[in-house]
Structure 1
Amino acid sequence: MTTLPGRPNTALLVIDVQNGVVEGCHDRDGVIANIATLAARARTEGAPVIWVQHSDDQLKKGGESWQYVPELVRHDTEPLVHKLYADSFEATELEELLAGLGVGRLVVTGAQTDVCIRSTLHGGFVRGYDVTLVADAHTTEDLTAYGAPGPALVIAHTNLYWAEQDAPGRRGDTVVTAEVSFAPADTA
């Protein structure tokens, strides 16, 4: 039900699953395994898998902490979007890439829940996309020392509030890995 006409396709976004981002994150291994499952399913179903990679002062481009985790392997044909801001759309070619692929629905996975995941969810939604958050395929680190809730609560809250997002002509939802569909929207 995207507001983007002629864009029935669904894409999987794999956001910032980099060594320095997910090291020490809540349920790191389980989240990465779910993302690997989703990437394999998207490939089988012919849906684009788009990789997003952040760089900043702590994640120097080319460094070990900047690299994607070894458990996830990007195929050479799969786009890689480099970003400098939390929202994967901000000052990147992501929108042009999705338009070229006819994508109007995003399936979002990765890290970190309370920064880049939330920013990208909202960034896609306000740009007219239907945006699905995969409840068991995103994670964050423990920031309780700074007054934040524990990571399990941050993840649970994000899953809860995203589950029923809606606006004219588009919607957000939350599903678990086993329930993700990459089928194109009905264009009839």
Structure 2
Amino acid sequence: MTTLEDRPNTALLVVDVQKGVMAVSHEAGTVVANVGVLVTKARRAGVPVVWIQHSDEGMARGSDGWQYVPELTRAETEPLVEKSFPDSFEDTTLEQVLAGLGVGRLVVSGAQTDVCIRSTLHGALARGYDATLVSDAHTTEDLTEWGAPPPPQVIAHTNLYWRFHTAPGRTAGTVTTEEVDFGTGS
């Protein structure tokens, strides 16, 4: 139901599942395993997997922490979009990559729930994409020291509000890793 004309395809976004991010993330092993399942499902269905990789002062491009976790391997034919802002669309090539693939619908996974995942979801919807969050394939670090809720609450709250998020002519929502069926569009 995307508002982007002639963009019937779906893509899986794998956002910032990098060593430095996942080293401090809640239930990282489970989330990485679920993202791995999603990547396998997407590849089997011929759905593009688009890898997003963050860098900033705390995670320098090329550093060990900047690298993707070893459990996930990007195929050389799969696009890699480098970013330095939370919204994966902001000042990146993501829109051009998706346009070239005819993508109007995104399935989103990765980290960090309360920063890059939320920003990317909202950025996608604002740009006309349908955006589905995989509820058990995103995570965040513990930021309670700075007043944030504990990670399980951040994740649950994001899943709750995204499940019911709406915009004219676009769909949002959540599914579990098990429920994702790229062959049927969910």
Alignment partners' CA distance in 1, 2:136 and 2:90: 25
Q: Percent identity?
A: 64
Kindly provide the CA deviation profile for residues 40-76 of structure 1, in whole angstroms up to 9, marking residues without a partner as x. Answer: 0000000000000000011111000100000111001
- Paired residue total: 185
Task: Give the RMSD, CA atoms, in angstroms.
Answer: 0.9
Structure 2: tracts of 5 or more residues without a match: none
Describe how 1:1-188 pairs up with structure 2 within 5 A. 1-183=1-183
**Structure 1 residue ranges, 4+ long, deviating more than 3 angstroms after superposition:** none
For each residue in 1:2-51, what CA deviation from the matched residue of structure 2 results, as whole angstroms up to 9, or x when unmatched? Answer: 00111111100000001111112111000000000000000000000000
In 2, are the aligned partners of 1:10 and 1:184 still within 8 Å (CA)? Answer: no
Q: Which amino acid aligns with 1:100?
A: G
* TM-score, L = length of structure 2: 0.97
> When the two structures are superposed, what TM-score results if normalisation uses the length of structure 1?
0.96
Which whole-Å CA distance do the structure 1 matches of 2:183 and 2:133 have between them? 16
1:164 and 1:181 mapped to 2: Cα distance? Answer: 20
Give the Å deviation of 1:181.
2.4
User: Could you tell me how far 1:184 is from its partner in structure 2?
Assistant: 6.8
For residues 158 and 144 of structure 1, do their structure 2 counterparts lie closer, same or farther at Cα, with a shift above 3 Å needed? same
Gaps of 5+ in 1: none
